[in-house]
């Protein structure tokens, strides 16, 4: 019954596993699911040799993508891209660009999708995402006229274009409940794989005192003990924590959805627990604080009628705990706190000195007045310093429009998987927006996957609400992952 496990639905095909498999074969869902699982294994195992030969990894990834582009449905290719995202750091420089396997798969997805639209005479789905995304990218382009490093700016402009394309493709291909559930499964599988790799990293450190996947050991000293901060393939514990935040929050809401099968919910809760343990072992203070704030908001909003005493108790706990938590967080690594504050102050200064065009995409870390040679540790200051205040306003407008549309869809969403995904993406985007104030995560594909999912889930919720008002549909068997509904 593994297909129903992947789809997260209670199987309504009578007769057990054999009939489920034969039904899947008739509708090509079994073949596409098997191909997808093979791709999962390839994308998890291949990056092990990427450090030795990233070019071979990319060539093999292109070959796999080319073959599966013919075999798999287009939305399964999107799942494959999601699975490849954690390995984006294994990229190959091609001229001024840097190309990863997920870039290749996403380009294949976009081409397949556009060809399908052209062949069927269909139209691209309407979305509130397109206009603000186009405006944001257009306002980034003037920074090319002032950049002093054209290669760096070109590479970042290409990466941002890939992010926007990720969101646009996701919002078009995930406009079915079964596909949303499939994307959730892919996100959780990717995070589970990368968390297992992080625990292997920790095991090797304890056993051999060798920091694998880190150029130099990133350790934190607590009570005289040196503990390795887990990074997995992200090479930086803070960005790794930012990545894990999305699957944890999304999984929390999906796991609470009673209409999912018990086995699927067990899978979801297992991944959430694994990711949570690994996130704590990153020793990312921003990640810890963001997660604590989310849990407080979650508890208050889940209470059906929070009393004044509950609000007062939460306020008192926050006031008492805040200075204690701040003291502990600063003592873990006091030097990093001060240099981040210095970088953020410099980001404000650069943004005010170059308000219209910034200094050029990706140039902040190379500025002569930046003694740390690092980004500003804030996505908002980074955009403002690199591309100017107009681009920053367009980015904020894009985020607000997506969140407003998602909340509007939530108001009409009926209980079920779509509502769970919509809630999860809204909360995840909120937490990622808060944590991004402490990190430069503009080119994080998983952030834009969540943006596309939120837009798609809101569209599904509104479509379901409209169909309920016009007619009462007959009950149907739940669709399987990889099967068209």
Give the DSSP H/E element, type plus range, for residue 98. Answer: strand 97-99
Nearest-angstrom CA–CA distance, 405 and 193 = 32
- Please list, residue by residue across 243-267, b when 16 or more beta carbons sit within 10 angstroms of its beta carbon and e when fewer do: bbbbbbbbbbbbbebeebbeebbeb
Nearest-angstrom CA–CA distance, 128 and 154 = 27
CB 77 within 8 A of CB 108: yes
Nearest-angstrom CA–CA distance, 393 and 136 = 8
| DSSP H stretches of helix in 146-261 | 150-173, 177-208, 237-255
How deeply is 41 buried, as exposed, middle or buried, from its count of CB atoms within 10 A (0-12, 13-18, 19+)? exposed
Is 481 strand, coil or helix?
coil
pLDDT for the residue numbered 394: 95
Count CA atoms closer than 13 A to 461's CA, side-chain side: 25
Residue with tokens 């090509």: 28
Nearest-angstrom CA–CA distance, 452 and 174 = 8
The pTM of this model reads 0.81
Q: What is the pLDDT along the chain (485 residues), one digit of tens a residue?
A: 333 434 444 333 333 333 433 443 344 443 444 444 444 444 444 444 344 455 665 666 666 666 666 667 888 888 888 888 887 777 777 777 778 778 888 888 888 888 888 887 767 888 889 999 999 999 999 998 899 888 888 888 888 998 999 999 999 999 999 899 999 999 999 999 899 989 999 998 888 888 887 777 888 777 677 788 899 888 888 889 989 999 999 999 999 888 888 888 999 999 999 999 999 999 887 788 888 888 877 777 766 555 566 556 656 555 555 555 555 555 555 566 677 788 888 889 999 999 999 999 888 888 888 887 788 888 899 999 999 999 999 999 999 999 999 999 999 988 888 999 999 999 999 988 888 888 876 678 888 999 999 999 999 999 887 765 554 444 443 343 334 44
pLDDT for the residue numbered 155: 86
What DSSP line would sit under 274-292, residue for residue?
HHHHHHHHTT-HHHHHHHH
Nearest-angstrom CA–CA distance, 144 and 148 = 9
pLDDT for the residue numbered 16: 38
pLDDT for the residue numbered 113: 87
CA distances for 191 relative to 169, 184, 242, 420, angstroms: 21, 11, 12, 19
* Closest of 396, 394, 398, 387 to residue 355, by C-alpha: 387
Per-residue 3-state assignment (H helix, E strand, C coil) for 309-366:
HHHHHHHHHHHHHHHHHHHHHHHHCHHHHHHHHHHHHHHHHHHHHCCCCCCCCCCHHH
pLDDT for the residue numbered 472: 46
Residue with tokens 């070959």: 63
pLDDT for the residue numbered 97: 77
- Token output for 78: 């999107």
Tell me how many helices (H) and strands (E) the chain has: 18, 4
Task: Give 27-31 contacts, CB < 8 A, sequence gap 24+.
Answer: 27/480, 27/483, 27/484, 28/73, 28/482, 28/483, 29/3, 29/480, 29/481, 29/482, 29/483, 30/3, 31/71
Is 222 strand, coil or helix?
strand
pLDDT for the residue numbered 55: 61
CA distances for 462 relative to 172, 371, 455, 469, angstroms: 15, 51, 11, 11
CB 241 within 8 A of CB 224: no
CB 36 within 8 A of CB 80: yes
* Closest of 406, 434, 408 to residue 421, by C-alpha: 406
pLDDT for the residue numbered 56: 61
Phi, psi of 385 (to 5 degrees): -75, -35
> C-alpha 153: how far from its chain's center?
23
Count CA atoms closer than 13 A to 358's CA, side-chain side: 32
């Amino acid at each position: 019954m593994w297909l129903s496990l992947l789809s997260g639905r209670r199987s309504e095909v009578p007769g057990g596993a054999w009939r489920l498999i034969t039904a899947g074969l008739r509708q090509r869902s079994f073949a596409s699911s098997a191909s997808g699982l093979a791709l999962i294994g390839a994308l998890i195992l291949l990056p092990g040799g990427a450090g030795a030969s990233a070019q071979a990894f990319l060539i093999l990834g292109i070959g796999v993508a080319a073959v599966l582009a013919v075999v798999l449905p287009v939305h399964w290719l999107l799942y494959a891209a999601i699975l490849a995202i954690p390995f984006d750091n294994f990229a190959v420089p091609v001229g001024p660009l840097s190309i990863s396997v997920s870039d290749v798969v996403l380009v294949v997805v976009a081409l397949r999708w556009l060809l399908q639209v052209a062949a069927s005479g269909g139209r691209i789905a309407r979305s509130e995402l397109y206009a603000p995304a186009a405006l944001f990218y257009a306002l980034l382009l003037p920074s090319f006229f002032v950049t002093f490093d054209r290669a760096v700016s070109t590479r970042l402009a290409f990466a941002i274009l890939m992010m926007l394309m990720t969101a646009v493709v996701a919002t078009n291909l995930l406009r079915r409940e079964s596909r949303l559930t499939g994307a959730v499964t892919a996100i959780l599988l990717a995070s589970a794989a990368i968390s297992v790799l992080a625990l292997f990293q920790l095991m090797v450190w304890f056993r051999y005192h060798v920091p694998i996947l880190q150029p130099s050991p990133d350790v934190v000293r607590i009570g005289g003990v040196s503990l390795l901060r887990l990074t997995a393939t992200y090479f930086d514990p803070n960005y790794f924590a930012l990545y894990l935040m999305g699957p944890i929050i999304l999984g929390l809401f999906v796991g609470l959805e009673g209409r999912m099968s018990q086995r699927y919910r067990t899978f979801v809760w297992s991944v959430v627990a694994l990711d949570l343990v690994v996130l704590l072992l990153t020793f990312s203070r921003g990640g810890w604080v963001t997660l604590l704030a989310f849990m407080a908001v979650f508890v208050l909003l889940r209470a059906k009628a929070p009393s004044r005493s509950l609000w007062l108790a939460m306020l008192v706990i926050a006031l008492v705990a805040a200075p204690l938590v701040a003291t502990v967080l600063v003592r873990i690594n006091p030097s990093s706190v001060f240099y981040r504050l210095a970088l953020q102050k410099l980001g404000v200064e650069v943004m005010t000195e170059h308000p219209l065009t910034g200094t050029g995409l990706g140039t902040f870390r190379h500025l002569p007045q930046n003694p740390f040679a690092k980004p500003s540790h804030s996505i908002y200051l980074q955009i403002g310093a690199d591309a100017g205040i107009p681009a920053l306003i367009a980015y904020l407008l894009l985020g607000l429009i997506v969140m407003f549309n998602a909340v509007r869809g939530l108001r009409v969403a009926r209980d079920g998987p779509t509502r769970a995904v919509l809630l999860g993406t809204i909360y995840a985007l909120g937490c990622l927006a808060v944590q991004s104030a402490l990190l430069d995560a503009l080119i994080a594909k998983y952030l834009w996957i969540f943006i596309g999912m939120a837009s798609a889930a809101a569209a599904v919720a509104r479509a379901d609400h409209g169909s309920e008002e016009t007619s009462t549909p007959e009950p149907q068997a739940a669709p399987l992952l990889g099967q068209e509904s």
